[in-house]
Chains A and B, each alone.
Chain A
Amino acid sequence: MHTAAGVEACLPIRSDMDLVWVRQHVRQAAARLGFGLVDQTKLVTAASELARNTLVHGGGGQMAAQHVSSRGSQGLRLAFSDEGPGIADLELALSDGYTSGGGLGMGLSGARRLVHDFEIDSAPGSGTTVRVTCWVVRPPRPREGV
């Protein structure tokens, strides 16, 4: 269960076919690291949202999956990156219901609620990278006040 094999990977996101691969890989990696069914589902759903953002808004990119551990907890970190136009107003993009792509506007904000740690790096013209982490046994964390 502590092996990185089958967890670490870098997958391209170029078409909606690739979204299926991303979901399958995240599902398998999460199962291998010992995530419960509900947490697996949350993580796969978050990955699906973020990968679709990479595809639709970033014009394609990639996802890197990484096995992380901290104080005895196992975790899965996913990084979605693209070289697209970037996000000018992060706060706006992260709010519920905001959409630029004709979706329900729950992609970024919803994905953030499904994971334990969420980081986003973006600026107009320099692409976007979103990093999310989920822990199998949660390290103590303060109740989010966001």
Chain B
Amino acid sequence: MSDAYSGPVTGHVPVLRLGDVLLVTLQGDLHDSTAQQLQQDLAETVSRTGVRGVLIDISGVEIVDSFLGRVLAEIAAQAKLLAARTVVAGMRPAVAITLVELGLTLPGLGTALSTEAGMELLSQQAPSRPGGPRQESP
């Protein structure tokens, strides 16, 4: 394992570092194993780089089932333990409607309309450091 956030390796989703944020772009139909690999890669990368935010662009994802939903929720939970906030950006309307019908509302996740809005959200949260930034958990 050389550099986790470099080129695309089979089974790996590339993780890009943009300043204080890790950017992941998910595309098309993800294998379960690829999603699990991403979860592991992200935990390692957040821990190693000490970034404050993880931004996952899912505008290219056509379906999110309960498996991928759980992976996203766990990514957010483990990032939070490492003092980073996770935002999922660009979920399509059909995907959102289906997730709600499925019974998943992913309360621990921050959401944004687009990657730009997501970046803005993450940079806004950064200064309010003490106590740890969070938005919607009760």
Q: Is the pairing of A and B real?
A: yes
Residues of A within 8 A of B (CB): 16-17, 19-20, 23-24, 27, 37-38, 40-42, 44-45, 48-49, 52, 96, 103-104, 106-107, 109-111, 113-114
Q: Cα distance A42–B103 when bound, in Å? A: 12
Residues 58-116 (chain B) with a chain A CB within 8 angstroms:
62-67, 69-70, 73, 92-95, 97-98, 101-104
Q: Do B102 and A110 touch (CB < 8 A)?
A: yes
Q: A23-B63, A24-B29 are in contact. Are A113 and B102 (CB under 8 A)?
A: yes
A103-B29 contact in complex given A45-B102, A109-B103, A114-B98, C-beta closer than 8 Å: no
From DSSP, what is the main secondary structure of chain B's interface residues?
Answer: helix
Q: Which residues of B contact A27 (CB under 8 A)?
A: 62
**B70 to A38, Cβ gap below 8 A?**
no
**Are the C-beta atoms of B66 and A106 separated by less than 8 Å?**
yes
Do the beta carbons of B70 and A103 come within 8 Å of each other? yes
Contacting residue for B104 out of A24, A37, A106, CB 8 A: A106
Please list the residues of chain B having a beta carbon within 8 angstroms of any beta carbon in chain A: 29, 31-33, 62-67, 69-70, 73, 92-95, 97-98, 101-104
Q: A23-B63, A110-B103, A114-B98 are in contact. List 16 more A-B contacts (CB 8 A).
A: A19-B31, A23-B29, A27-B62, A40-B94, A41-B62, A44-B63, A48-B65, A52-B65, A104-B73, A106-B69, A106-B103, A106-B104, A110-B66, A110-B104, A111-B102, A113-B102
Report B68 CB to chain A, min CB distance, Å.
9
- Dominant SS among interface residues on chain A: helix
In the docked arrangement, what's the CA distance between A27 and B28, Å?
Answer: 12
From the candidates B31, B63, B70, B103, name the one contacting A41 in the complex (CB within 8 A). B63
A94 to B70, alpha carbons, bound, how many Å? 19
